[in-house]
Structure 1
């Protein structure tokens, strides 16, 4: 079963997506997500100009060997562009293999370890009444766990709130640190102690500020505190760990097992946040999560709207088969995206399931995708109140 054709499809139904479609000489096709938010066309060029010519004529069944070829054979390793391209190939090959076997992909990964995947939804508000309404809306949709993001008094809308600016945001860490504990106190008072609550700092604090926040939030029993400080300096997380027992989730900007080596081995985190799409595909993310399992660290795979339905389906198949699954982020896509990518995965009573169709259970309508051409877009930037560029 040889790879006969490779197509890179770029479409922007509700936002930009990059999809790799591989087709074999016996007519089987598989899909992989290669979307890199704000730098999509860099991955398109990497795939079209460098990867696709290497794939034609290769045995589609040789997933591990192809992964090693694309990683080691390029000499220049790691990084988000490379690993997103490898992820697309890897996921598409797993899709083909499962379609050839006539079974959903998770069966090839060892079968289901659970009946469904606990998902968390996003709730936000500029003030408490707006936030409470948002939490109630998510609970009405069936979510059993909620990520809570709040506006900060004195600042324009900030990351995670529905009305946040999409070009330049303004930030002040001291104002945020003073305000956020009162938000979780109010949420716990309104919704009780049982509801799992999560919060995303989005890399904005220094290590000592992150330690202070984690300690201040301990009375409110968070499921996790996400990306509390930029994780390039992994030793900094030792300081956070010394001062708080609030669980930590890190890694949505990580791309390889090497990014996790120290923080997993030293047990400096509790949840791995990487997405299949940005971390070398199913093959490589499973390696990371098997490594993490030795230290009782669980999965918390990244699942924003800029991971396409193909990438989301891959996460669900992997999560269903993992023993150390933790929770899955789920931010449903828009109606136009759902027309381009037809999906078999379901969300019922707070649980996701990838479905029983062979392969990933996602099909791409190329004609529908063609209605929505690429539209250049960038992520916001973040500046302090004095204009200094800060982490977004």
Structure 2
């Protein structure tokens, strides 16, 4: 079974997505997600100009060989653009293989290890009362794990806090937070670390006081802290029993996580900007983190992320794959299939895509009892609508830039 054509589809049903559609010579179609928020066209070009010509005529079943061919053959390895492009190819080929086998993808990955994948939603608010309203809505919808993000006094806006209140899962105006704004230049946000460190413990104290001990609570620091600041935050949040504290510091310096680990027992999750097992080598082996955050979309596909998680399993490190709405339903479907099969699955991030996005991609996974489960149809369970996708052309959008209050460009 040979690859006959590969089409790169860029569509924007509320936000920009990059989808690879591979068609075999006997008409089987597979889909892969290559979305890289704020840099979508770089991946689209990489696929169109450099990868697609290499795919035509290749054996669609030769997934491992194709992965190695695209990874090792290019010489310039890793990086988010390259690995997102490889992920799109890899996921589409797994979709095809599962369709030919007549099985949902998770069955080809070893079968189900659980009934469904525990997920966490995003609750946020500009202040505590608005945050409480968002948490209540998530609980009513059935979430059992919730990420807590709130505005910081003195700051106009904070990444991760929706500009309007979250709607329910059944409401088409749902919370679909999009930090990549449609503009000629990136928006600029200001940041005050000391104000943040003073404020966050009081937020979790209030949430625990209002909602009790049973909810799994998570928080994302989004790379904004130095190692000592991260250690201080982790220690200050210990009384509130977090499921995890995410991306406390930029992890290019992996030694930084050793410092944080020595000073707090709060579980640590990291890696949504990582794109290969090499980024985790020391972090996993030395057990400096508890959860791996890389999504299938940005880390080389099902083949690559499965390797990362097999390595992590040796050290009791679990999965916690990145899954906001800038990962398309294709990428989320692949994550749910892999998560269902992994023994060391931990949790899956889940933001409900907008009605427009769902209509374009036609996902068949189902949310119930606080978790996601893929459908039993062969492949990923995606029904992409090419004609509808064409009605939503790409729109230029940038992720924001973060600055300290003195104007210094800061991590985010």
TM band (smaller chain) = over 0.9
CA distance in structure 1 between the partners assigned to 2:279 and 2:113 by the alignment:
27
Aligned runs of 1:183-332 on 2, under 5 Å? 183-332=203-352
Q: Which residue of 2 aligns with 1:136?
A: 136
Give the CA deviation at 1:133. Answer: 0.4
Q: Which runs of 5+ in 2 are unaligned?
A: 165-178, 182-186
> After superposition, what is the alpha-carbon deviation per residue over 1:100-125, rounded to whole angstroms, capped at 9, x for unaligned?
00010000000000000101000011
Give the CA deviation at 1:283. Answer: 0.1
CA distance in structure 2 between the partners assigned to 1:134 and 1:155 by the alignment:
20
Q: Which residue of 2 aligns with 1:100?
A: 100
Aligned runs of 1:1-16 on 2, under 5 Å? 1-16=1-16
Alignment partner of 1:277: what SS? coil
Q: Which residue of 1 aligns with 2:55?
A: 55
Q: Which residue of 2 aligns with 1:389?
A: 409
CA distance in structure 2 between the partners assigned to 1:371 and 1:254 by the alignment:
33
CA distance in structure 2 between the partners assigned to 1:168 and 1:125 by the alignment:
20
CA distance in structure 1 between the partners assigned to 2:102 and 2:237 by the alignment:
48
Give the CA deviation at 1:349. Answer: 1.7
Give the CA deviation at 1:231. Answer: 0.5
Give the CA deviation at 1:243. Answer: 0.3
> After superposition, what is the alpha-carbon deviation per residue over 1:298-329, rounded to whole angstroms, capped at 9, x for unaligned?
00000011000000000000000000000000
CA distance in structure 1 between the partners assigned to 2:361 and 2:197 by the alignment:
41
Q: Which residue of 1 aligns with 2:115?
A: 115
Instruction: Write out the 4+ residue segments of structure 1 that deviate beyond 3 Å after TM superposition.
Output: none
Give the CA deviation at 1:97. Answer: 0.2
> After superposition, what is the alpha-carbon deviation per residue over 1:123-175, rounded to whole angstroms, capped at 9, x for unaligned?
01111111100100111111110000011111112111112985111100000
Aligned runs of 1:70-89 on 2, under 5 Å? 70-89=70-89
> After superposition, what is the alpha-carbon deviation per residue over 1:167-202, rounded to whole angstroms, capped at 9, x for unaligned?
111100000001110110010000001110000000
Alignment partner of 1:147: what SS? strand
CA distance in structure 1 between the partners assigned to 2:79 and 2:4 by the alignment:
28
CA distance in structure 2 between the partners assigned to 1:364 and 1:344 by the alignment:
11
CA distance in structure 2 between the partners assigned to 1:18 and 1:159 by the alignment:
23
Alignment partner of 1:71: what SS? helix
May I ask how many residue pairs the two structures share in their alignment? 392
Q: Which residue of 2 aligns with 1:45?
A: 45
Aligned runs of 1:371-386 on 2, under 5 Å? 371-386=391-406
| 1:30 aligns to 2:30 (yes or no) | yes
| 1:347 aligns to 2:353 (yes or no) | no
CA distance in structure 1 between the partners assigned to 2:386 and 2:137 by the alignment:
34
CA distance in structure 1 between the partners assigned to 2:54 and 2:163 by the alignment:
44
Q: Which residue of 1 aligns with 2:149?
A: 149
Q: TM-score, normalised by structure 2?
A: 0.94
Q: Which residue of 1 aligns with 2:169?
A: none
CA distance in structure 2 between the partners assigned to 1:243 and 1:220 by the alignment:
16
CA distance in structure 2 between the partners assigned to 1:307 and 1:83 by the alignment:
14
> After superposition, what is the alpha-carbon deviation per residue over 1:329-376, rounded to whole angstroms, capped at 9, x for unaligned?
000100111110011100012110011010000021000000000001
Give the CA deviation at 1:71. Answer: 0.2
Give the CA deviation at 1:48. Answer: 0.6
Q: Which runs of 5+ in 1 are unaligned?
A: none
CA distance in structure 2 between the partners assigned to 1:354 and 1:344 by the alignment:
7
> After superposition, what is the alpha-carbon deviation per residue over 1:262-310, rounded to whole angstroms, capped at 9, x for unaligned?
1001100000000000000000000000000000000000001100000
Alignment partner of 2:201: what SS? helix
